[in-house]
A and B are shown apart, each in its own frame.
Chain A
């Protein structure tokens, strides 16, 4: 009997104990150190990036090499199936963070919650990080309290700008459509849809008999920019994102209500009624959309290049659909002829709204910064961007890097990427030239490599238009002014201000009404319904806050002239 009681007591005790440890145990283990074979310890950090990405394997080869050089490695996790704000909000509610974080559009919430470590006092000890921005740029990164909390990762070209990709928004079209028509000049929406319709009439199916989808619109949650912000570009303005800033008058214009906006949605409406626009457009998820593009059936769409090319181009390659001309090229489209397009803005655009930050949960801030500093060095940068010499790239007698076709195919293989490549892509990384002064920072920026790595159908198309890069397809345009891009401000708005509330409501309304407008049988009445509820959101409050910020940025820039 006594023994039985003892057992019960033990059970109860251990249950209670496990309950309490359950409460106090750290959910995220930070700054673990494990010993490597040679006795040196390798620091392990954790990172969360509130953007979609794919995790790499734990025994990734290049990650291991970088760890041997820098003495640290970072376990990266990415956004899955949520918005950035939801993911960040959940972290804040839990109160525990990974060591590194890029909150993306949730960054202001992290700052508000006091989750980030001020970095400015550390910066002088880390020369590579310090050099990454100019004094003026560091100044721009200071928040209201005068401190710097995050380091934008992408905006810096070393030595000079190397522009090949158009890693931005555009009207995309499959090369087979252009080829069929003999590579015509396409500069307006009317021409674009006309061409797609004529092509589809002549070739309604693919080689395997699947019917083409003429034009699809991705509209899944935050990715609805594919539907929403084209009026800005169609009027020939650069990508300020949330509104138009007129470069002459420096005044903010709402692109949702311009005559061009109406014309654009009316055109989409006409095409929808004709059956040209994919009827599933507004209900498809991002995954379904990517799957659709990967079959090669979709003739054209608006999208950001980064939103589809990683997955879609690789899928087309693996399925041999390149030979059918299923790859996409951008077209310089505006609302009417004579409007200068500004789909591509040259130069580095500093996104002050988000970047790599270190959180208050990080126990070794100096070690973390040392890692960021180290991976900006030449040796690690080459490993991150190019890979391992003789495995991922070759070097000719002049020191120029190049790749064989096999290497290119291999580098697009998902399994290989997970087990071998480690780009640390959301850590600061130089663009432009490599530190060796010979090569571009990444294969995609190396002019020869860019063209050679393009599938034959794209090369042929570029040649027909007498272009070497996507950028040349659209033409280069300079940054319009010191406020650019103003979306970095709109991204920081929270519901704490009137403008922020308006911004939220506007986006809510647009999510619902823009698809309705496109699908409506009576466009005019649908449009006036939309305009009515849109005005109720009080967009003026938002616009005036943006105007204030534009003025502030212009004033600030004057200090540095």
Chain B
């Protein structure tokens, strides 16, 4: 196995002829390298702020250098520890729920035989993806209010005596956010799995059917293994996004009563970095987030490698 890989990787020698042949390709990639440099790497100079007591008036040159003091301040703040907890918790809940829901939804949809029905369900299900969070949170706020549809239903079926104010209790908040994410993104995320499913050779299904596999058997032995590479790649990419648990939804749905569970790292950065004009502490929090994300991706990638699965790098 390892030798065959080596043979594959044996490179052709780069010579001018080759370069000339691929000139157009090279120019195109140069454009993206420039783009990446300007918009992804140059802004990294801003990380300097985290090690300074940055004042916009003084700029990078004249702001005093404080070393790791800002990071120390950050980790001594109970508030920051709390937002890390919230971000991780909501990130994981969101990841698992949207991920599982999308796969289940794609498989279920694939089993629908009527073409028209399938198209319609798919279209309707991914439309919420195009709504902005401000609209989604308004709908949620309305639906979950004490005169909203959820409370009306719960009272009609005698689950509740009095309307329950869902947003007043910290214990519900993470689940409301997860529900919002699932509602908004399931249809959209399912598209990629659906296309992966269509790529599976239909003769496999026929063969399985002849061998006596029922519907469940075909899903278990053909569909799921067939989309496993897609699942792994998307999982890896999403693990890196766990700390991007969201900003708008928590910012818009949160209130004083639930602030101890609703605030994420992004909100913390906004509050201290932007509102209180302490750009250094905001940058430090941002750096922390990036580093943790990178570590998470590397770990997940290593695990995928060990398990002999598809991986990113």
A residues near B, CB below 8 A? 5, 8-9, 12, 15-16, 19, 23, 81, 83, 85-86, 88-90, 92-93, 95, 106, 109, 112-115, 219-220, 224, 279-280, 282-283, 285, 288, 494-495, 504, 508, 511-512, 514-516, 519
The residue that A86 contacts in the complex, of B141, B255, B275, with Cβ under 8 A, is B275
A-B contact pairs, 30 of them (CB 8 A): A5-B24, A8-B24, A15-B31, A85-B274, A89-B270, A89-B273, A89-B275, A89-B276, A92-B277, A109-B277, A112-B277, A113-B56, A113-B277, A114-B57, A279-B165, A283-B165, A283-B255, A283-B257, A285-B141, A288-B141, A494-B277, A504-B276, A511-B259, A512-B257, A512-B260, A514-B256, A515-B168, A515-B256, A515-B257, A519-B257
* Residues of A contacting B38 in the complex (Cβ-Cβ under 8 angstroms): 19, 23
Residue of B nearest to A95 (CB): B56
* Residues of B contacting A285 in the complex (Cβ-Cβ under 8 angstroms): 141
Interface presence of B163 (CB below 8 A): yes
The residue that B256 contacts in the complex, of A5, A112, A511, with Cβ under 8 A, is A511
Give complex CA distance A456, B226 in Å: 75
* Residues of B contacting A494 in the complex (Cβ-Cβ under 8 angstroms): 276-277
Interface presence of B167 (CB below 8 A): yes
Known pairs A89-B275, A89-B277, A114-B56; list 18 more (Cβ under 8 Å): A9-B27, A12-B27, A16-B34, A81-B134, A83-B275, A89-B270, A93-B56, A219-B256, A279-B146, A279-B168, A280-B145, A282-B255, A282-B256, A495-B276, A495-B278, A508-B259, A515-B255, A519-B168
The residue that B270 contacts in the complex, of A5, A86, A115, A495, with Cβ under 8 A, is A86
Give complex CA distance A283, B24 in Å: 58
Residue of A nearest to B275 (CB): A85
B57 touches A283 (CB 8 A): no
B255 touches A93 (CB 8 A): no
Residue of A nearest to B58 (CB): A114
Task: Indicate whether A12 sits within 8 Å of B28 (C-beta atoms), given known contacts A511-B259, A514-B256.
Answer: yes
Residue of A nearest to B274 (CB): A89
B110 CB to nearest chain A CB (Å): 40
Interface presence of B35 (CB below 8 A): yes
Interface presence of B279 (CB below 8 A): yes
A512 touches B278 (CB 8 A): no
Interface presence of B218 (CB below 8 A): no
Residue of B nearest to A113 (CB): B56
Residue of B nearest to A511 (CB): B256
A90 touches B256 (CB 8 A): no
The 7 closest A-B pairs by CB, nearest first: A89-B274, A85-B275, A511-B256, A114-B57, A113-B56, A283-B167, A109-B277
Interface presence of B85 (CB below 8 A): no
Give complex CA distance A85, B278 in Å: 12
Residue of B nearest to A219 (CB): B256
Chain B, 260-309, CB within 8 A of any chain A CB = 260, 270, 272-279
Give complex CA distance A266, B28 in Å: 69
B255 touches A16 (CB 8 A): no
Residue of B nearest to A111 (CB): B57
Residue of A nearest to B276 (CB): A495
* Residues of B contacting A95 in the complex (Cβ-Cβ under 8 angstroms): 56
Interface presence of B55 (CB below 8 A): yes
B residues near A, CB below 8 A? 24, 27-28, 31, 34-35, 38, 55-57, 79, 134, 141, 145-146, 163, 165, 167-168, 255-257, 259-260, 270, 272-279
Residue of A nearest to B134 (CB): A81
* Residues of A contacting B163 in the complex (Cβ-Cβ under 8 angstroms): 279
* Residues of B contacting A283 in the complex (Cβ-Cβ under 8 angstroms): 165, 167-168, 255, 257
Task: Indicate whether A280 sits within 8 Å of B165 (C-beta atoms), given known contacts A85-B274, A285-B141.
Answer: yes
* Residues of A contacting B168 in the complex (Cβ-Cβ under 8 angstroms): 279, 282-283, 515, 519
* Residues of B contacting A12 in the complex (Cβ-Cβ under 8 angstroms): 27-28, 31
Residue of A nearest to B57 (CB): A114
Give complex CA distance A224, B276 in Å: 19
Give complex CA distance A150, B255 in Å: 33
Chain A interface, >50% SS class: helix
Give complex CA distance A219, B259 in Å: 13
* Residues of B contacting A93 in the complex (Cβ-Cβ under 8 angstroms): 56, 274, 279
B259 touches A512 (CB 8 A): yes
Give complex CA distance A92, B58 in Å: 13
* Residues of A contacting B279 in the complex (Cβ-Cβ under 8 angstroms): 93
Residue of A nearest to B142 (CB): A288
B150 CB to nearest chain A CB (Å): 14
A16 touches B27 (CB 8 A): no
The residue that A19 contacts in the complex, of B24, B34, B146, B275, with Cβ under 8 A, is B34
B57 touches A112 (CB 8 A): yes
The residue that B35 contacts in the complex, of A19, A85, A511, with Cβ under 8 A, is A19
Give complex CA distance A140, B130 in Å: 52
* Residues of B contacting A512 in the complex (Cβ-Cβ under 8 angstroms): 256-257, 259-260
Give complex CA distance A83, B272 in Å: 13
Give complex CA distance A19, B55 in Å: 29
* Residues of A contacting B34 in the complex (Cβ-Cβ under 8 angstroms): 16, 19
A438 CB to nearest chain B CB (Å): 46
Give complex CA distance A149, B21 in Å: 63
A276 CB to nearest chain B CB (Å): 15
Give complex CA distance A516, B163 in Å: 18
Task: Indicate whether A8 sits within 8 Å of B27 (C-beta atoms), given known contacts A113-B55, A280-B165.
Answer: yes
Give complex CA distance A16, B145 in Å: 50
Give complex CA distance A504, B27 in Å: 53
A38 CB to nearest chain B CB (Å): 42
A286 CB to nearest chain B CB (Å): 11
Give complex CA distance A332, B167 in Å: 34
* Residues of B contacting A495 in the complex (Cβ-Cβ under 8 angstroms): 272, 276, 278
A345 CB to nearest chain B CB (Å): 28
* Residues of A contacting B145 in the complex (Cβ-Cβ under 8 angstroms): 280, 288
Residue of B nearest to A15 (CB): B31
* Residues of A contacting B270 in the complex (Cβ-Cβ under 8 angstroms): 86, 89
* Residues of B contacting A224 in the complex (Cβ-Cβ under 8 angstroms): 256
Residue of B nearest to A110 (CB): B277
Task: Indicate whether A16 sits within 8 Å of B278 (C-beta atoms), given known contacts A219-B256, A511-B259.
Answer: no
* Residues of A contacting B165 in the complex (Cβ-Cβ under 8 angstroms): 279-280, 283
Give complex CA distance A511, B260 in Å: 10
Give complex CA distance A515, B165 in Å: 13
Residue of A nearest to B166 (CB): A283
B193 CB to nearest chain A CB (Å): 33
* Residues of A contacting B56 in the complex (Cβ-Cβ under 8 angstroms): 92-93, 95, 112-115
* Residues of B contacting A516 in the complex (Cβ-Cβ under 8 angstroms): 257
* Residues of B contacting A114 in the complex (Cβ-Cβ under 8 angstroms): 56-57
* Residues of B contacting A514 in the complex (Cβ-Cβ under 8 angstroms): 256
Give complex CA distance A495, B279 in Å: 12
A391 CB to nearest chain B CB (Å): 38
B43 CB to nearest chain A CB (Å): 12
B139 CB to nearest chain A CB (Å): 13
Residue of B nearest to A500 (CB): B276
